[in-house]
Amino acid sequence: MGDRKKISESVDSPSEMHTEEYNFIKETIKNRPMNRKQIFLRAAFVVGAAALFGVVAAVAFFMTFSAMGEYEESRQEEHEVEIPKDDPKETQQPKSADTPAPRIVEVPRSITLADYEKVYNEILSVSESPRKALVHVSGVQKKEDLLDNTFLSSGESEGIIIENNGSELFILTELAALSEAEDVEVEFTDGAVAKALQVKGDAATGLAVVRVAVASVKKETMDRIAVAKLGNSYSLVQGKAVIAIGKPTGYNDSVVYGNVTSVTNKVPVTDMEYNLLTTNILGSGQGSGMLLDASGSIIGVIAMAYGPEDTQTMVKALSVSQLKPLIESLSNGKDIVYMGVRGQEVSEETAKKLKIPRGIFVDKVEADSPAMEAGVQRGDIITTFNKKNVHAMQRFYTELQKCEKGQKAELTVMRKGAEDYGQTKINVTLDVQ
């Protein structure tokens, strides 16, 4: 192999040995540059694809949005709740002169414990169906403490099923349990739990309505629950037997009974006035639930906070007949139109006795309310609302709820002057709660 070229040669010392380096040739293959026609065609393809994607996305969005709108519109039409109203004129309470004189009934034998048990069993039988309509409502809210630790806070209240339209259950409950709640849960009488959505609440009465999708409730539970019947509280008189269910004593699923002691007491709330039904039933100051008549119909929503402080342990309830228009509005998610006055009726008899105009005497004007901004004052007597006579708070409330947010309402007000009452017109721009 003497003809092979040497790439290293020996020298006198190893340190003088060197090696010649050879670099291999690296070859890069380049694509042929595109001409103008190819560039134009590729750009046109990209632009066309983007345009097509945009059109498809727009059509999909439009179809989805339209479908959602149609669904919501159909849901509102399908879910419209209508609650039959009671006419107080048709169910006037008998005057004392019309009330028959009490007669003495001779009891042939002494009443035994067995007799009491029989009466209570009958009461349980009457309350069986409305008790199936009772639910427990929880409003869950996430909160953070000073150390940024997250914990769950829940408000709780009793509720009752007032409507089932085939697709949703509507439940009347207390607004306080839902305050700032992120999630709402409903527990039925058999222990089953379902998610709920708040429909609307009313700050004046503290009531609210939530709804539960029927599809989210198992058939077994649907077979065990019931829809409560709203009765006529205008027909109540003193002495009528009533049953309190729910949590009137502070304990769940309580059933207690007694008699109506008064139906004429009034509870003034903003823009309305309700009759307060009082009973001789001993309850808890924190109690809640419903008041039933002898047929098992609801005639009152228990409201322990009203009345004098020394009567907080006596079960009291707001008249359900007067609440029906409000319950219907809440169930349908309608705005509660707000003016901001508290007042009481000046009856014809009171007007003659005190020599003052007949109408609604304004006891209080809520701060920063539309009424205050318009110039309504305490002591004014409202005689007409939008040219309609309003001699009672309920008539005033009915006319008020026919209006909308931002609408101007015309009031005729009688205001006390130096010598006598003078008439003035006030325009109020209404708001909603």
Distance CA 431, CA 180 (A): 22
Q: What is the pLDDT of residues 321-366, one digit of tens each?
A: 999 999 999 999 999 999 999 999 998 899 999 999 999 999 999 9
Fold agreement (233-324, 337-432): no
Enumerate the domain spans of the chain: 132-224, 233-324, 337-432
Distance CA 233, CA 303 (A): 15
Q: Where are the beta strands (DSSP E) in 270-407?
A: 272-282, 288-292, 298-302, 314-319, 337-338, 341-346, 359-365, 381-385, 388-389
**pLDDT recorded at residue 5:** 42
User: How is domain 233-324 classified at the CATH fold level?
Assistant: Thrombin, subunit H (2.40.10)
Q: What is the pLDDT of residues 91-106, one digit of tens each?
A: 555 554 455 555 665 6
User: How is domain 132-224 classified at the CATH fold level?
Assistant: Thrombin, subunit H (2.40.10)
What is the token pair recorded at 305?
């906070």
What is the token pair recorded at 141?
């809210």
Residue 209 CA to its chain's centroid (Å): 3
Q: What is the pLDDT of residues 151-192, one digit of tens each?
A: 455 678 899 999 999 999 999 999 988 877 888 999 999 999
Rg (CA), the chain: 37
Q: Is 403 exposed, middle or buried (0-12, 13-18, 19+ CB in 10 A)?
A: middle
**pLDDT recorded at residue 99:** 53
Q: Among 379, 412, 407, which Cα is nearest to 396's?
A: 412
Higher pLDDT, 3 or 276: 276
**pLDDT recorded at residue 159:** 94
Q: Among 318, 231, 338, 311, which Cα is nearest to 267's?
A: 318
User: What proportions of the chain, in percent to the nearest 5, are helix, strand and coil?
Assistant: 25, 35, 40
Higher pLDDT, 427 or 84: 427
**80 — pLDDT class (breaks 50, 70, 90):** confident
**71 — pLDDT class (breaks 50, 70, 90):** very low
**Of 63-77, 245-259, 270-284, 381-395, minimum mean pLDDT range:** 63-77
Continuous segment of H or E residues that includes residue 44: helix 36-78
Q: What is the pLDDT of residues 230-272, one digit of tens each?
A: 999 998 999 999 999 999 998 888 999 999 999 989 999 999 9
Distance CA 249, CA 132 (A): 18
**pLDDT recorded at residue 22:** 42
User: How is domain 337-432 classified at the CATH fold level?
Assistant: Pdz3 Domain (2.30.42)
Q: What is the pLDDT of residues 5-61, one digit of tens each?
A: 443 444 344 444 444 444 444 444 445 555 555 555 555 555 555 555 555 555 454
Residue with tokens 């009082």: 278
Q: Among 412, 410, 398, which Cα is nearest to 337's?
A: 398
How many residues does the structure list for the chain?
A: 433
- List Cβ neighbours of 274 (8 Å cut-off, separation of 6 or more): 205, 266, 267, 318, 319, 322, 323
Q: Among 94, 80, 98, 88, which Cα is nearest to 319's?
A: 88
DSSP secondary structure letters along 165-221: -SSEEEEEEEGGGGTT-SEEEEE-TTS-EEEEEEEEEETTTTEEEEEEEGGGS-HHH
Continuous segment of H or E residues that includes residue 242: strand 241-247
Distance CA 43, CA 307 (A): 80
- pTM of this structure: 0.75
- 7-11: long-range pairs with CB below 8 Å, 24+: none
Cβ neighbours around 57 below 10 Å, total? 10
What is the token pair recorded at 86?
């009671």
Q: What is the pLDDT of residues 139-151, one digit of tens each?
A: 877 655 555 554 4
As a whole number of angstroms, the longest Cα–Cα distance in the chain is 150
**Of 27-36, 203-212, 257-266, 381-390, minimum mean pLDDT range:** 27-36
Distance CA 138, CA 99 (A): 45
Q: Among 399, 352, 396, 331, which Cα is nearest to 168's?
A: 331
Q: Among 182, 208, 206, which Cα is nearest to 195's?
A: 182
**pLDDT recorded at residue 65:** 44
